[in-house]
Amino acid sequence: MSVREDPIKMHKEAGALMENGKYAEAKDIFVKTADLYYKGQNYFGAAEMYYKAGECAVALKDWAKAVELFMKSADISFSKAFDRYGVSALEQARDCQKTLGNTKEVEELEKKIKEFNDKQKEPEGESSFSVFS
């Protein structure tokens, strides 16, 4: 008989580990929790857990893993219209790419962030075209 994993307990445990500087352990539990949340259709929870796992990877200076985790968070966020959260994850991934010296990836991420921010500035249902200008 298998024991059912409780993602809420795991979420709290990972948070406590992170607060106590046990980033490697916290990261692993955040990833497992993200997977469980995703399977349970708690998409915001999954995006948040990947983001937190990314923060742990940053604390461990594992920049490549952090990029991977932040991008997973962004992908889920954008697919479920958690757009502001997605942009924040992209910004974190961009900063990690800067640390890695990956200029091309930084430029691509900055372009995505700019495109989203420009789209947000445009009022819904309106365009920049006007017959009165």
Reported confidence tier of residue 14, pLDDT bands at 50, 70, 90: very high
pLDDT (tens digit per residue) in 76-85: 999 999 999 9
Reported confidence tier of residue 122, pLDDT bands at 50, 70, 90: low
* pTM beyond 0.85: yes
Instruction: Read off the pLDDT of each residue in 4-32 and give the average, rounded to a whole number.
Output: 96
Could you tell me the domains of the chain? 7-121 (1.25.40.10)
Encode 61-120 in three state secondary structure.
Answer: CCHHHHHHHHHHHHHHHHHCCCHHHHHHHHHHHHHHHHHHCCHHHHHHHHHHHHHHHHHH
Reported confidence tier of residue 118, pLDDT bands at 50, 70, 90: confident
Instruction: Read off the pLDDT of each residue in 106-111 and give the average, rounded to a whole number.
Output: 97
